[in-house]
Structure 1
Amino acid sequence: MLKSGVLFLFRHPQTVKKSLRSSQMKLIDADGRVSGPGHKLLLVSFDGFRWDYDQDVETPELDLISRIGVRAKYMTPPTLTMTSPSHFTTITGRWVEDHEVVHNMMFDQKTNLKVPHKQTLRRSEWWDTGATPLWITAQNQGLKVGSFHFPGGGANYSGQPVGRHVFETPGFPDDNETEWRQNIDQVLDWFSEEDFDFVTLYFGEPDNVGHAHGPDTPQHKNIIRQIDRAVGYLRRGIDAQNLTRDLNVIITSDHGMTTVKKRPLVDEIVLNWYLPLLKLASFEILDYGGFGILTPRPGKEAEVLEALAKVPNITAFAKSQIPESFHLKKSQRLPPVIIQAQLGFNLNSRFIVYVNKGDHGYHSGEMDMKTIFRVFGPDFRRDLVSEPFDSVHLYPLMCHLLRVTAAPHNGSTQVTQDLLLQHTIKAAL
């Protein structure tokens, strides 16, 4: 029974039921590579799960997953370390400058339109940028796919929706453990009863707890324990529904979390103290954590950048001068000026309005922005700790597991091939 969201069903005309679903039906060729259909795949994202959150809390289920599968030391998200941009990098394998989901909020510099995050999730024009997410690529190659609350899963791409998608119910608490179990049950039913091939499942925690209380608090430890119980519930459900031999599971996140510095008049950054924003800027999103964007009025860009250079604890870039490592410079959507706060500092535009005790949005090179990565299933090695890697490489790994031909992407199968059992490895897609 589905209580947590609004359900939409779409059967693409190219979707066909595959006849060879069992792992026993896979064939090994002379080079030791798998032929035949891929295994099923479940991608689970726990929003804001920092890479080390399980190190000061007892997490027996996550520990077990590490023993029966693979754990990366950490995974590096893209810059921007925000929910929508990072999730879309995972599902497309594209850097942010290529997929153009450049903020949690949909915006338009010319009209000053700003659409809040939860409403943006339903706006196809924000997501349908030319980068093709794996849901669409897979279902166009005959696979049955679904998205449960996953960012981008409710949009249409060139008019095509994701085969099955469930939106979050507005106002429903993200930490409802009963609902979590219902959502897991529903997704496992899709696999076992309806023969789905690929499903993405999203949980809004521990992000909300991290924002409200900070990452180094008793509340943070409590939500990590709840997540660990959910992972155990998922693992037992896989066994109960006889999916163990045919379902690969990836558990990851979009970004980490850091403690916000809060000493009054010392740590606060109020940009209007340093430059008259109303006079110099025609558009801005500055009251949104550690990352800001700004459109100077005509002829005012140099003056804006000169003033911003005097603001402590930030770095401001003209878009053309953004370092290549940010993978943002080529973006057409980003305004001419971006502002990156130093770790733990938050941006305010005209007044001190920021109340979060924890936040993200900082450069992905900061350790507090790194994320968790766990995988297990029939295609993965056991009891392996892998070196860190960038989340952009998850996409070609998922394409390989599903045996689909990848759309253009920025990742590489070479980065993750050591995670796989030898007989599942084949040449890069």
Structure 2
Amino acid sequence: MKMRLELFLVVAAAVCAAGKPLNTAGNKLLLISFDGFRWDYDQDVDTPNLDQLAEEGIKAKYVTPPMLTMTSPSHFTTITGRWVEDHEVIHNMMFNPKTNLKIPFRQTLKKSEWWDTGVQPLWITAQNQGLKTASFFYPGGGVTYNGQAVNRVIMRSINHKYANETEWRENIDKVMSWFSEEDFDLVTLYYGEPDNVGHRKGPDHPDRKTIIQQIDRTLGYLREAIARHQLSDSLNVIISSDHGMTTVKKKPQVNEIILNKYLNLFGAASFEILDYGGFGILTPKPGKEQEVYDALSKAPNVKVYKKEEIPEDFHLAKSKRLPPIVVVADLGYNLNSRLIVYVNRGDHGYHNGEMDMKTIFRAFGPDFKRNFVSEPFDSIHIYPLMCKLLQIEPAPHNGSLSVTENLLLHSGESDSVVCQ
């Protein structure tokens, strides 16, 4: 017994000296994100599988995404545990205010220079500690970090159709085979619904309820696939989202804000992204910052911030990429620069304190409690929970395991070596 203990301590010391924790018996983890799944979307729809998952695992009352409540910034917060001002993915679009470069969202997903900011996402942290990881459509998964790629990546095509239920099931089958046949440890799987239908039709449209039922059927299929691949005792699953959704256009009132009515943007701004839902950014021309701020502050139903005056709880002000002026519309109002060019019926990007921006959270598997309803928490805290599940040492992050550890069966117990 004494020899075994001495051997363990020697191995542990060697691992710590190498900067890696001792990974022992960590179960596998599947992180699923349903883009734009608002916290209450399952409350007006029959969802037997989501209900069953709540009985078999964890249901949070809701989760608060970071500011910004947009797809890329929020997903990167989940996978890094960092606030947006720290990970610097501050928009869905890659941009450069000095050159006026703007690259659309789906093309930005392939641009390493937008994502590789010195912050290490979970895939890379896990790989550096001996685990095998994959990203299936997940934002941030298709680029390299300090030259290192995720072990396996499947990217969406530019014209990918989001709502094909047959493809959804095929994707689950593929991921299950990665776990069961190729011994992957971590897979992140992304679905573009119900965000797509929420934008096109609005959150109150019957088609939104239809897609929630499709998601529910897909989760039922997931449960069957886990059992079929004999993963029930070794696979933990977290079901998450990036932001909610609110109605932005409802007849007879159309909630549009045209900012050029209050400021000559051509004469006062050198860079802008304003035609993008509820969140806008711009760079005033030299000497015109106060003029821009004062003029836009007169616009109704918006809040205008100088970068240095952004509230601390936004966790945005320290960003080096963020332009000097930030505009946030009131819930349900849509920003436009000069003309009404945005035709969506639903949108996000609003203050993360708004209930319409809150998201879903479910979790089940061998390491989670059963039939447990969690109090709300910020999405920043999902990252240390995932590290705990994988039994790896986290990279530097802003979350806290103390917030989410109570979701686990053996909360408070340490089963990994801590390197001093």
Do the two structures share a fold, i.e. TM-score over 0.5? yes
Deviates more, 1:150-159 or 1:418-427: 418-427
Answer yes or no: is 1:242 the counterpart of 2:230.
yes
Give the percent of matched residue pairs that are identical in Structure 1 and Structure 2. Answer: 67
- What is the aligned partner in structure 2 of residue 101 from structure 1? 89
Counterpart check, 1:302 vs 2:300: no
Q: Which residue pairs with 2:108 in the alignment?
A: 120
Per-residue CA shift, 1:349-379, capped at 9, x if unaligned? 0001111000000011000000000000000
Structure 1 gaps, min length 5: 1-33
Residue 19 of structure 1 corresponds to: none
Match of 1:55 among 43, 46, 55: 43
Distance in 1 (CA, whole Å) between partners of 2:254 and 2:179 is 53
Q: CA deviation at 1:171?
A: 1.0
Q: Which residue of 1 aligns with 2:300?
A: 312
Which structure 2 residues correspond to residues 261-276 of structure 1 after superposition, within 5 A?
A: 261-262=249-250, 267-276=255-264
* Cα deviation code 1:55-110 (max 9, x no counterpart): 00000000000000010000000010000000000000000000000000000000
Aligned to 1:75: 63
Write out per-residue CA displacement over residues 371-426 of structure 1, whole angstroms, 9 at most, x where no aligned residue: 00000000000001010000000000000000111000000000011111026733
Shift of 1:217: 1.3
| Equivalent in the alignment of 1:213 | 201
Structure 1 segment 22-421 matched on structure 2, within 5 A: 36-262=24-250, 267-421=255-409
Question: Following the alignment from structure 2 to structure 1, what is the Cα–Cα distance between the partners of residues 131 and 415?
Answer: 21
Paired amino acid for 2:397:
H
The whole-number CA distance in structure 2 between the counterparts of 1:226 and 1:423 is 34
Gaps of 5+ in 2: 1-21
For the residues of structure 1 that align with 2:331 and 2:63, how far apart are their CA atoms? 18
- Superposition CA RMSD, Å: 1.5
Cα distance between partner residues in 2 of 1:252 and 1:127: 21
CA deviation after TM superposition for structure 1 residue 169, in Å: 2.2
* Secondary structure, aligned partner of 1:215: coil
- The answer to whether the Cα contact below 8 Å between 2:107 and 2:158 also exists between their aligned partners in 1 is no
**Change in CA separation of 1:169 and 1:266 when aligned onto 2, cut-off 3 Å:** closer
Q: Retained in 1: the 8 A contact 2:88–2:321? A: yes
Cα distance change on mapping 1:423 and 1:327 into 2, 3 Å: closer
- Give the secondary structure class of the aligned counterpart of 2:193: coil
Distance 1:425 1:118 in 2: 42
Tell whether the 8 Å contact from 1:379 to 1:424 is kept in structure 2 after alignment: no
Matches of 1:427 and 1:197 in 2, distance apart?
Answer: 18
Give the Cα–Cα distance (whole angstroms) in 2 for the partners of residues 287 and 156 of structure 1.
30
Deviations 1:269-308 (A, max 9, x none): 0000010000000000000000000000000000000001
The one-letter code matched in structure 1 to 2:117 is T
Structure 1 counterpart of 2:12: none
Letter in 2 for 1:272: N
> What does residue 413 of structure 2 align with?
425
SS in 1 for 2:33: strand
The residue aligned with 1:6 is: none
Distance in 2 (CA, whole Å) between partners of 1:340 and 1:66 is 35
User: 1:147-199 CA distances to partner (integer Å, 9 max, x unpaired)?
Assistant: 00000000100000111000012212100011101111111100000000000
- TM-score between the two structures when normalised by the length of structure 2: 0.92
1:307 & 1:425 partners in 2: Cα distance?
Answer: 56
**Structure 1 residue 267: Cα displacement:** 2.6
Residues matched between the structures, number = 396
Task: Rate the CA distance shift 1:193–1:415 in 2: closer, same or farther, 3 A.
Answer: same
- How far does residue 343 in structure 1 lie from its aligned partner after superposition? 0.2
Indicate the residue corresponding to 1:3 in structure 2. none
Q: Give the CA deviation at 1:231.
A: 0.5
Seen in structure 2, the aligned counterparts of structure 1 residues 262 and 268 have a Cα distance that, compared at 3 Å, is: farther
Are residues 309 and 403 of structure 1, via their aligned partners in 2, closer, same or farther at CA, if it must alter by over 3 Å?
same
> What amino acid sits opposite 2:120 in the alignment?
T
CA deviation map 1:230-255 (0-9, x unaligned): 10111100000000000000001000
Change (3 A) 1:266 1:151: closer
In 2, the alpha carbon distance for the partners of 1:192 and 1:423 equals 27
| Contact residue 49 and residue 205 of structure 1 kept, 8 A | yes
1:50 aligned partner, one-letter code:
R
Measured against aligned partners, the alpha-carbon deviations of 1:324-371 in whole angstroms (never above 9, x if no partner) come to 010001000010000000000010000011110000000110000000
The alpha-carbon distance between structure 1 residues 58 and 266, as it changes in their structure 2 partners (threshold 3 A), is closer
SS of the aligned residue for 2:155 comes to strand
Could you tell me how far 1:264 is from its partner in structure 2? 7.4
Contact 2:301/2:333, CA 8 A, preserved across alignment: yes
Partners of 1:358 and 1:261 lie apart in 2 by: 7
| Maintained 8 Å contact 1:149/1:203 | yes
Cα deviation per residue 1:2-41 (whole Å; 9 max; x = unaligned)? xxxxxxxxxxxxxxxxxxxxxxxxxxxxxxxx98221000
Distance 2:341 2:119 in 1: 35
